[in-house]
Amino acid sequence: MKNLIYISFLLLTIATFGQTTLKGKVTSLGLPIELANVSLHKTNMRTATDSLGNYSINNIPKGNYEIVVSHSGFRPVRKKIMLSDTTEIIMDFDLKETNSLDEVVVTGTLKAVNRLESPVPVEVYKPTFFKKNPTASIFEALQNVNGVRPQLNCNVCNTGDIHINGLEGPYTLVLIDGMPIVSGLSTVYGLSGIPNSLLERVEIVKGPASSLYGSEAVGGLINIITKNPKNAPLVFADAFASTWGEVNADIGFKANINNTASILTGINYFNYSNPIDNNHDNFTDVTLQDRISVFQKWNFKRKSNKLFSMAGRYFYEDRWGGEMQWEKKYRGGNEVYGESIYTKRWELLGAYELPVSEKMLLTYSYTDHDQNSVYGDVPFLAQQKIGFGQLTWDKKINRHDLLFGTAIRYQFYNDNTPATATSDENWIPSLFAQDEIRLAAKHTAMLGIRYDYNDNHGNIFTPRLAYKWAPDDSSILRFNAGTGFRIVNLFTEEHSALTGSRDVEILEDLEPERSYNLNINYLKKFYSKDGDYIALETSAWYTHFTNQITPDYDTDPNKIIYKNLNGYAVTKGISVNADAVFQNGLKIILGVTFMDVTKTEHGITTDQILTENFSGTWAVSYRLRKLYLDIDYTGNLYGPMRLPLAGDLDPRKEYSPTWSIQNIQFTFNKLKNFELYGGIKNLLNWTPNKGNPFIIARAEDPFDQHLDQNNPYNLTFDTGYVYGPNQGIRGFFGLRYTLK
């Protein structure tokens, strides 16, 4: 018995001394990576790094192993090692960023695919990109995306929309988690209420996608994808303030309920209550706002591991701009001019994967938008309800990756304008099919078609064609062609029809807009032996409209005229994106776009109003590793654009100058779970009033009560001469907190 105990103790001692501890640190460009996965391949031995990037795996038996280190957004690292009698081994790892090229995207084809494999070019932007220039809304954040421009449509209330490749905001479809719930009224008023802290990523497709997403995706689409509650931090917060008095706060947290569901809650609050009039026209330079948005997302756990999620959002905003002495008691009156907008909006969306052997997904959404606004003494009261349901079937057969779907859209719209004598209510059923065909190892084609039926316009067909050729691992050529179809809802989209003193004249029944588009895209990646990375992406496009509804400011300076296009319109251009990451801590993102956007009627070609002929964006970042400091220098550059003058004698410039807004930010990230950041926005202190005698026409007489007095330019009150933000240089400071 004693011998047995002795032998057992000896074997245990040998086994103990024959086991090893593996430890070390995981970093990227010298900074620690938290929650990186460290595992021994083909074993159950694994761990995750702490907030300082440290890891440790204990009691590893002797033998040969392969260590795998991975983290989202970085290329995984594998190393082989032989463990003998050493009791402790230290191994450090430095991960290289993937630069989003190998990410899974869903927007281009309505299904999850590797970005490099998608025949449709999809641009992906992660929260890290938007943190380089922190903003209070997605609307402002998109200003640093090449070919995408947030356009302000009013000098007084600062509402706006998003242009893609020179096409007006209504041609851009904005999705949240793939659901088309930002349209109509919310195209103008609802974009500012989406909390940045909930972003997982933003996917952008430039060019028509009507064959999958319907009539509004003519110029392109933006898909805002929110975080998965399962992967979100326990608590996250981001708050900043500016020297102008702006305050923005994003707060979020997640919770688990009895191992059956994960809940993600996000709250955004923005307030700006400090009237400023730096250009001395007695009008607020920036609209005052009080806004809150509450978002909650539920992911339910199912035994089959199939998807089941629901989300909801409530948004309320009170904004006003106008004469500096305006108060709420003047709302709707003609004593003091003000534009006051109350917005109430709630949204519901969800996705449910059917419990069948085939891959079938049901998605749905419903929105209710209530608008109560006055423009001086002109009220605009509008209600919009949109319901949407869609069922898709994803099926692979040999070389064919098929997608079939059916959708139905319910639309209700009513307002108090003469254009809406009765409420507009209709149902739009749809069918669509898509076939992605792997022709060969390096060649893929995709065919798609969509059928919609509209009560007012009958049958609508929108086909689509895409082709991808990947000659090697570092090159991709894509070609896309498609058609666009869009029904105009004039008073929800053309804010200029509601403000100022111009009369709106609709000469005829407005027919749907129709377009044809061609797009070619080429991507080339370069890797150096030292781990440096450069990607170049070039796109060229051509869009031809057989009918387009655009406001005519030229025929009569006192009117905005709408009619069907008696001719054609063309949008064409080329863009280049460059993305470089160097191991010395330098990152560079550059973009440039050249465009030619024209309309031809009766043989006369004119430039589209408020469309630049070239633009550029950049984000230059440098990491001072020893100081735990990131420096981000961001900006954009816009070429001249034709502006809406209010008459032949209008002294304001017909074309804007070339202008630029530039920003710098410093981020300190040594503190555990915290980031401190601050900087300066609009370093050049640029505002559109520079070089102009005034921006708002007849600001001293907003109700046109004294047109016969001191009016040398024969103008009426007009706020539509706007092409950029009227907010000058300002400092900002913020704090982020994340608890995993």
Three-state DSSP at 468 gives strand
| Domain count within the chain | 2
- Maximum C-alpha span of the chain: 119
- HEC string for 372-416: EEEECCEEEEEEEEEEEEEEEEEEEECCEEEEEEEEEEEEEEEEC
Q: Flag whether 571 is in a domain.
A: yes
Q: Which helix (H) or strand (E) is 2 found in, with range?
A: helix 2-17
With beta carbons less than 8 A apart as the criterion, state whether 217 and 484 touch.
Answer: yes
Q: Flag whether 214 is in a domain.
A: no
Q: Flag whether 455 is in a domain.
A: yes
Q: Quote the CA–CA distance of 476 and 540 in Å, as a whole number.
A: 15
pLDDT of residue 10: 44
Give CA 657 to chain center in angstroms.
27
The CATH number that applies at residue 417 is 2.40.170.20
Residues 228 and 92 in one domain: no
Cross-strand bridge partners of residue 483 = 516
Q: Which helix (H) or strand (E) is 14 found in, with range?
A: helix 2-17
Q: Which residue reads 């938008």 in tokens?
A: 369
Taking the CB of residue 85, how many other CB atoms lie within 10 A of it? 9
- Residue span of the structural domain in which 440 resides: 224-739
DSSP 539-564: EEEEEEEEE----B-SS-TTEEEE--
Q: Quote the CA–CA distance of 564 and 575 in Å, as a whole number.
A: 30
Dihedral pair phi/psi, residue 253, rounded to 5°? -155, 160
With beta carbons less than 8 A apart as the criterion, state whether 517 and 183 touch.
Answer: no
Show which of 97, 132, 153 is a domain's final residue: 97
Q: Quote the CA–CA distance of 554 and 557 in Å, as a whole number.
A: 6
Q: Flag whether 211 is in a domain.
A: no
Q: Flag whether 243 is in a domain.
A: yes
**Among candidate residues 91, 92, 72, the one with its CA nearest the CA of residue 30:** 92
Residues 295 and 431 in one domain: yes
**Among candidate residues 487, 486, 436, the one with its CA nearest the CA of residue 464:** 436
Q: Quote the CA–CA distance of 655 and 645 in Å, as a whole number.
A: 10
Q: Quote the CA–CA distance of 317 and 330 in Å, as a whole number.
A: 19
**Among candidate residues 589, 593, 596, 640, the one with its CA nearest the CA of residue 616:** 593
pLDDT along the chain (740 residues), means of 10: 50 53 83 83 86 86 87 78 79 75 72 83 90 89 91 83 83 84 64 71 83 75 86 90 96 89 93 95 96 93 92 94 96 95 93 95 94 91 92 95 94 81 85 95 93 84 92 91 78 53 74 89 86 90 88 73 88 95 89 95 88 96 91 96 89 94 96 94 94 92 90 89 91 93
Cross-strand bridge partners of residue 239 = 249, 735
Q: Quote the CA–CA distance of 463 and 405 in Å, as a whole number.
A: 14
Give CA 441 to chain center in angstroms.
33
With beta carbons less than 8 A apart as the criterion, state whether 297 and 167 touch.
Answer: no
Residue 3: burial class (beta carbons within 10 Å; 0-12, 13-18, 19+):
exposed
Q: Flag whether 236 is in a domain.
A: yes
The CATH number that applies at residue 12 is 2.60.40.1120
Q: Flag whether 434 is in a domain.
A: yes
DSSP 142-200: GGGSTTEEEEE--TTT--EEEEETTB-GGGEEEEETTEEEE-THHHHHTGGGS-GGGEE
Show which of 97, 121, 154 is a domain's final residue: 97
Q: Which residue reads 């057992």 in tokens?
A: 8
C-alpha dihedral (420, 425, 431, 434), degrees to nearest 10: 50
470-to-205, 522, 633 alpha-carbon distances in Å: 19, 10, 34
Show which of 97, 114, 149 is a domain's final residue: 97
Q: Report the relative pairing of strands 400-415 and 93-94 from DSSP bridges.
A: unpaired
pTM equals 0.85
**Among candidate residues 184, 254, 729, the one with its CA nearest the CA of residue 494:** 184
Residues 359 and 503 in one domain: yes
137-to-20, 140, 149, 192, 544 alpha-carbon distances in Å: 51, 6, 14, 5, 32
Dihedral pair phi/psi, residue 53, rounded to 5°? 85, 5
Q: Flag whether 120 is in a domain.
A: no
Looking at 170-307, which runs of residues are DSSP E strands? Answer: 172-176, 179-182, 199-206, 220-226, 235-242, 247-257, 261-272, 288-300
